Amino acid sequence: MGGRQVLAARRLLAETLDGTLPERDHVAAAYAVVDELGSPDRLLELIVELACGEGDPEAAARLSYRHVLGFDKLLLVDAGPQHMLRAHVWHAGVGGAGREDIHNHRSTLASHVVRGRLWTELYEEVPEGRDEERAGARGGGIAAARFEESLAEGSADWLLAPAGPARLRLTHLGQYAAGSTYALPAHTLHRAWCDTEGPTVTLFLETGSQRRRHTDVFTPGGSHAGAVLKVPMDVPGYLESLSSLADLLRSP
């Protein structure tokens, strides 16, 4: 079920990301997909179609919500268990908690900046027992508390189980302006944030047939709630958010 743009997006996901590619090729294919679907004109057509009720708005609304950091996660295409295509709308100055916790994902991710600007950091964990590396990391790295994140049974809430202390080292800092795309393997530790005065919009894809059972979350502050609730949108709120996003994409 879906209109022309919804069906075209599903077809592109299915034909480009078949689940048999080696990891490097899968990451490259994910990059190509969001780079193509994230072109402003094509994404606007998809958003307008969905805002008119195409697809499955009830199911999409249940998987769309306002993130604790102040950005909206709007599900656009749920292509079975392998592909989830979302729009992230970062609202400048709206009740966010700053930068994300450092984390990885269950599957390959790719992100295309449609409007605004996004910063990303990549990290690596300093292995235990390598004293010289840990000593070096103390100068340029950060101490963090590690958690294993999983999904609660019967809901979409995040569960966070403490997994001990860790030390991380920053390996990359990047700024991505409108038109930029990046893609990362599932295990890559990273975090992102928006520093623009106006809204930033990204097209975000998670894809892969081999989904990890949990993700790793590192909190430099050293503490975290045991569970983080997700409050899903209702259908009118979801459609209204899509309409507002369409208006934003039309504006200069």
- What DSSP assignment string belongs to 7-72? HHHHHHHHHH--S-S-HHHHHHHHHHHHHHHTSHHHHHHHHHHHHTT-S-HHHHHHT-EE-TTSEE
Q: State pLDDT tens for residues 165-188.
A: 999 999 999 999 999 999 999 999
Q: Are 47 and 89 in contact (CB under 8 A)?
A: no
* Structure tokens given for 101: 């916790």
pLDDT tens series, the chain, 252 aa = 568 999 999 999 999 997 788 989 999 999 999 999 999 899 999 999 999 999 999 999 999 988 766 689 999 999 877 899 999 998 865 544 456 789 999 899 999 999 999 999 999 999 865 544 444 444 457 899 998 887 665 555 667 788 899 999 999 999 999 999 999 999 999 999 888 888 999 999 999 867 777 889 898 866 665 556 678 999 999 999 999 999 999 998
State how far the alpha carbon of 239 is from the alpha carbons of 6, 46, 106, 199, in Å: 15, 13, 28, 18
Dmax (CA) for the chain in angstroms is 59
For position 137, what pLDDT does the model report?
A: 43
Q: State pLDDT tens for residues 3-22.
A: 899 999 999 999 999 778 89
Beta strand pairing status for 158-177 and 227-228? antiparallel
The values of phi and psi at residue 127, to 5°, are -65, 145
Q: Are 160 and 111 in contact (CB under 8 A)?
A: no
Beta strand pairing status for 200-207 and 189-193? unpaired
Percent of the chain predicted with pLDDT > 70: 82
Q: Any idea what DSSP says for residue 82?
A: T
Go through the domains of the chain in sequence order and give each one's CATH number: 4-250 (2.60.120.10)
Q: Kindly give the interhelix angle for 4-16 and 23-37, rounded to the nearest 10 degrees.
A: 160
Summary mean pLDDT of the chain = 86
Q: Are 50 and 203 in contact (CB under 8 A)?
A: no
Helix (H) or strand (E) holding 131: helix 131-140
